[in-house]
Amino acid sequence: MDQDKAQQYIEALQEHFKRTGRCPIKEDFHKDLYGIKRHFGNWTNALKAAGLQYTRKKEYSKEQLKKTLLDYYAKYNKSPRTVDCSRANGLYAPVFYLNTFQVKTWAEVLTAVGLGFYQVWKPSVDDLKQALLDFEQQHGKLPGTKDCTTANGLPAYETILKAFGVSSWQEVIKKIGLKPNRTLNPSIAQVKNSLLNFYVKHKRAPKASECLKANGLYSKNIYYKKFGVKTWTAVLKTAGLDRFTLKSPVTEDKNKALKVLLQFIKKEKITTEKQYKLVYKKHQLPSTAYINQQFGGWRNLLKKAGLWSDVDKKKLINAIIEHYKQQGKSPTMDELAKDCR
């Protein structure tokens, strides 16, 4: 061992203690930690060589620790778990409780302070009913399962279901004398009418993403279940609605839609379906799905506009070869369409 280097480390440790008034820790000497361990074997030996003593753990009395556990129980109405042992909850690390009470398990710690293992508050049905009614009065809405938190003064919704002896939240709402927002099991007629009402109001079929209470619609899963289908297109078809009915007034009249489309693609010189997809929403024009349904596809629409002509196979091959000779690469669809005109 290099005595001079070891003496330098000892003096550095002593100097740190004089300067800060506390025993140095490893993080204070992270750059020299490898050299200190090489000379002294470990950090504790280095501190002993410097005449310093490091107190690793703070000691607490049984009364102090018991008070923290009881305070937690009084605040949250349940016994703390090991994962709850944090400063945010006013608790110390589990090891302090285990060592102070001289036990090996957390259950024994709770027993030692007079708490049951994971004891949870079990409110009566009357208490729960009053708490739910207070929530409704305070917030102006029916309590939902997501509202069942300690912040709202309510236990977990599973606890409430068990206390009332029911299997669904709608039944809980009925038990406390309030009317649920929706019927528990809507009929096929009710489900279909909700879609038709949306169509009458907005003059278009609803999207699956619009299945919200604010729009007067049920969850999309209810429509799938009631109609026995797996896609939203099938739902609308079952309800007698057109899947491609859009906001644009252009689609209300097929002849008018054709006239507007022909004028637009001639003016903008749009020759491919890809080009059209980039701009149709901006100009409130029918979608490509509407074009496929009403006019038999993009090619037929271009034929009507006079922008499409069937190309001879030999002419097409010659155009590809000629383009390759000039450009040194194969033509794109747009380039090929220009070359074949």
pLDDT tens digits along 252-268: 677 888 888 888 888 88
Q: Output the pLDDT for position 209.
A: 85
Amino acid in position 224: Y
Q: Is 120 helix (H, G, I), strand (E, B) or coil?
A: strand
Cα–Cα nearest to 308, from 281, 272, 275: 272
Distance separating alpha carbons of residues 229 and 208, to the nearest angstrom: 13
C-beta of residue 117 within 8 angstroms of C-beta of residue 77? no
Query: Does the global pTM surpass 0.85?
Result: no
Supply the DSSP symbol for 28. G
Distance separating alpha carbons of residues 167 and 229, to the nearest angstrom: 26
Q: Output the pLDDT for position 249.
A: 52
Mean pLDDT of 60-77: 85
Q: Output the pLDDT for position 271.
A: 75
Distance separating alpha carbons of residues 27 and 181, to the nearest angstrom: 59
What confidence tier does 305 reach under pLDDT thresholds 50, 70, 90?
confident
Question: By CB neighbour count within 10 A (0-12 exposed, 13-18 middle, 19+ buried), where does 228 fall?
Answer: exposed
pLDDT tens track for 159-177: 888 888 888 888 888 888 8
Distance separating alpha carbons of residues 312 and 194, to the nearest angstrom: 53
Supply the DSSP symbol for 152. G
Amino acid in position 240: G
Q: What are phi and psi of 120, to 5 degrees?
A: -120, 145
Average pLDDT of the chain?
80
Q: Pick the more confident residue, 246 or 295.
A: 295
Q: Output the pLDDT for position 79.
A: 84
Supply the DSSP symbol for 205. P
C-beta of residue 108 within 8 angstroms of C-beta of residue 69? no
Distance separating alpha carbons of residues 311 and 302, to the nearest angstrom: 14
Q: Output the pLDDT for position 246.
A: 44
Amino acid in position 120: V
Beta bridge partners of 120: 78
Dmax over CA atoms of the chain, in Å, equals: 100
**Matching residue, tokens 């709402």:** 173
Token couple for 95: 């090891």
Cα–Cα nearest to 82, from 73, 70, 91: 91
